[in-house]
Amino acid sequence: MSTSTYVGFFRNLLCCVKDLQLFSSVLSLPLVSTPLASLPPFSLFTFFVPYIPSDLYDAFLLTTVLEICIFPLQFYAFYSLTTGGFNGLKGTLQKLGSMKDWSEALDKVKKQVYADYGLSSATSASSSSGSSFSVRRSTRKKTPSKPKSSTSPYPAAAIVCSLTFLETSLGEYKAKLNRDLVESCACLVIGPSFIWLAANSLHVTATPYIGGIDGVILALIFMEFALLPLLWYMKDDAVKERGGG
């Protein structure tokens, strides 16, 4: 399993312990439940940060040791999802640009094959649908001259089948890239939203900064909407796996 999996597990575990008051005997320990303001190392914090607003500083000192443990895990989710979404979006857009060149090259090859073998494409509707194309021999009478295809060592059917396979594979690859694009955009929404959850662990949302509690609620709403396409893909994968099994 990846690092993000372990971080997500412990982040959710600690959040459940805090919100549901699990392991109450452990939570009642002074080292876990005591605010940072009461601990000697942090009581000297005022000497090093004299320019922090008083309300923000007071909110920070209400943070317990358990919440301090949750904060870096939530910040890691912000960092990993945001950077992963940005890199994924950048790579996917580059691949989509390359795939456009591949599609144009494949169209040129198809036209050349049709011209060499005296074939004609199917109706424009089927060719524009993105599915595999089909060909048929032209019903027009051939000229008495010998066709160019006779000089080719490969039969027309084999070349047409190869082009059909390439076009189908290209369509499947494009569908995968479209999915990667949606998932990257979802990460770019979910990742930054963790800033508000991390700030909430430090009680920053108890102050007017970064929107307060309303900012947390709005961030959660954005996260829920961003999860919808991901849940749809999960459902689609489950259906395909069940059908394949």
Q: List, as one string, the DSSP characters of 157-180.
A: HHHHHHHHHHHHHHHHHHHHHHHH
Check residues 245 and 105 and name the one with the higher pLDDT. Answer: 105
Question: Mean pLDDT throughout 213-233?
Answer: 92
Q: How confident is the model at residue 244 (pLDDT cuts 50, 70, 90)?
A: low
Say what the pTM is. 0.69
From CA 223, how far away is CA 188, in angstroms rounded?
10
pLDDT in tens, 62-97: 888 888 889 999 999 999 999 999 999 999 998 888
Q: Other CB atoms closer than 10 Å to residue 92's CB: what's the count? A: 20
- DSSP conformation class of 136: E
Question: Mean pLDDT throughout 126-131?
Answer: 41
How much is the pLDDT for 125?
34
Q: How confident is the model at residue 48 (pLDDT cuts 50, 70, 90)?
A: low
Most confident of 90-104, 120-134, 151-165: 90-104
- Using the Cα atoms of residue 145, residue 150, residue 152 and residue 155 in order, give the sign of their dihedral: positive
pLDDT in tens, 19-45: 777 766 666 666 566 666 666 656 555
Q: Assess contact for 229 and 181: CB atoms under 8 A.
A: no
CA nearest 177: which of 100, 243, 84, 78? 100
From CA 32, how far away is CA 121, in angstroms rounded?
73
Q: Assess contact for 11 and 70: CB atoms under 8 A.
A: yes
Sorted by sequence, the CB contacts under 8 Å of residue 227 that are 6+ apart come out as 186, 190
Amino acid at 124: S
pLDDT in tens, 164-220: 888 888 888 888 889 999 999 999 999 999 999 999 988 888 888 888 889 999 999
Question: Mean pLDDT throughout 119-133?
Answer: 44
Q: Other CB atoms closer than 10 Å to residue 179's CB: what's the count? A: 15
151 has pLDDT over 60 = no
Q: CA of 234: how far to CAs of 165, 224, 228, in Å?
A: 27, 15, 10
154 has pLDDT over 60 = no
Mean pLDDT, rounded, of the chain:
76
Question: Mean pLDDT throughout 8-18?
Answer: 86
In the chain, the percentage of residues whose pLDDT exceeds 90 is 24
